[in-house]
Amino acid sequence: LARHREEPKVLWAIGRSPLRVVCHLLRRSGLEADRFPNCGAHLAQLMSRFRNLRHAIAVDPLSPATALNSLALYGGEQERMAVAKNIGTPRELLSNLADSPYRDIRKATASNIQLAGDIIEKLSRDDWTGVKWEIARNPATPARVLEQLSESGEVTILLAVAQNRATPPIVLAEMA
């Protein structure tokens, strides 16, 4: 790491930014950026200045949880949607995003394959068909939720349930 600090061109040559390498190391170590003096503040400052960096952090599953939380709270709609889809987003943050007043954020959250059962259950009862459609497509959706969605009568939902590999054969037979 010391070598790369002195010669960051090595990292750039292999398609890695020094900042993303540091973010990966932090996440893999289980440590939060805020434990290191000025690290969290420095990361927040960089994210406020560079849109591409915000997007890169939003989509990277090894991004620090504090950075994802910051983007979910203060980022633009595209960044919040990217955080919602990110499989590295912490459960509590996914739960908050599932309660968003913005349906596109809820839809993006519904597509996350790391959703917990209670969040899937909540989103499966959303008022907007787009959110329920994403839940019906999500391979993490439990069989009982897929069965409930198969009774909706909405053609787009039925198609998504039928195409989901997690749908039990008995549910498919009942849909036929």
pLDDT tens digits along 86-108: 999 999 999 999 999 999 999 99
Q: Which of 48, 53, 60 is nearest to 24 (CA)?
A: 60
Identify the residue with better confidence: 112 or 32: 112
Q: Which range is least confidently modeled, 53-57, 103-107, 109-113?
A: 53-57
Question: Within 13 Å and on the Cβ side, how many CA atoms surround 164?
Answer: 29
* Arithmetic mean of pLDDT, 6-19: 69
Contacts of 1 (CB under 8 A, 6+ apart): 21, 25
d(CA 5, CA 31): 20
**pLDDT attached to residue 64:** 81
| Unique residue bearing structure tokens 């010669």 | 7
Give the orientation angle of helix 39-49 with respect to helix 18-29, to 10 degrees. Answer: 140
Which pLDDT value is given to residue 12? 66
- Rounded to whole angstroms, the Cα distance separating 41 from 23 reads 13
In sequence order, the 6+-apart residues with CB closer than 8 A to the CB of 70 are 44, 47
Find the mean pLDDT for residues 160-164.
97
Take residue 74 and report the two structure tokens written for it.
């203060």
- State how far the Cα of 117 lies from the Cα of 166, in Å rounded to an integer: 14
* pLDDT at position 5: 58
- Cβ atoms of 164 and 136 within 8 Å: the answer is yes
Ranges 8-17, 41-50, 142-151, 152-161: which has the least confidence = 8-17
